[in-house]
Structure 1
Amino acid sequence: MRKDKKSSFTLFLFSWMMVVLLNFVATAFAEDTTPEIVDSTLDPVDSGAGDDSDVSNPDEDSRDSSDGAPSPKLPSSYKALLEYVLPAPLQHQGSNDNYDYVNAGSCFFMAATGAMEILMNMDVAPENRQSDGLSDLSERWLMTVPEVASRGNFIVNRILTFNDYAGGVLNKDYRYTKGGYNEYNYSVRHNWVNELPGDWEKKILVKTPKIETKVIFMAAAPGAKNKVGVMSDRTIEKVKQHLVEKQGPVQVVYNESGVWHSVLIVGYDDNDTMDGEVKECPFTKKTIRSLGFFHRWKAKRAMARGGGCEEKGVFYVRESEYHENDPFYQKLDKVYDYDLQREGEEAPYAAPFVKREYEWLKYLGNHAVGISRVDVDKARFPPKKNTPTP
Structure 2
Amino acid sequence: MTTTSPETGGHPGAPSPPGLAGGPGDMTAPGVRVRDLVVVYRTPLGELPALGGVSLTIEPGTITGIVGESGSGKSTLALSLLNAVQPPGRISAGSVEIDGLGNVLELGGDDLRQARGRHLGYVFQAAQNSLNPLKTVGKQLLDLGRSHGADDPRALVRDARSLLERMGLDGARVLDSHQHQLSGGMRQRVGIMLALVLNAQLVILDEPTTALDMITQATILRIVREVHKERGLTTLMVTHDIGVAAEVTDRLAVMYGGRVVEHGPTMDVIGAPSHPYTQGLIRAIPRLSGDTAEARALPGRPPTLGTLPAGGCVFRERCPLRMDVCETVEPPPVLVDRRTVACHAVAGARQERVVREERVVREQERVGREEERA
Q: TM-score, normalised by structure 1?
A: 0.25
Higher percent of residues as helix: 2
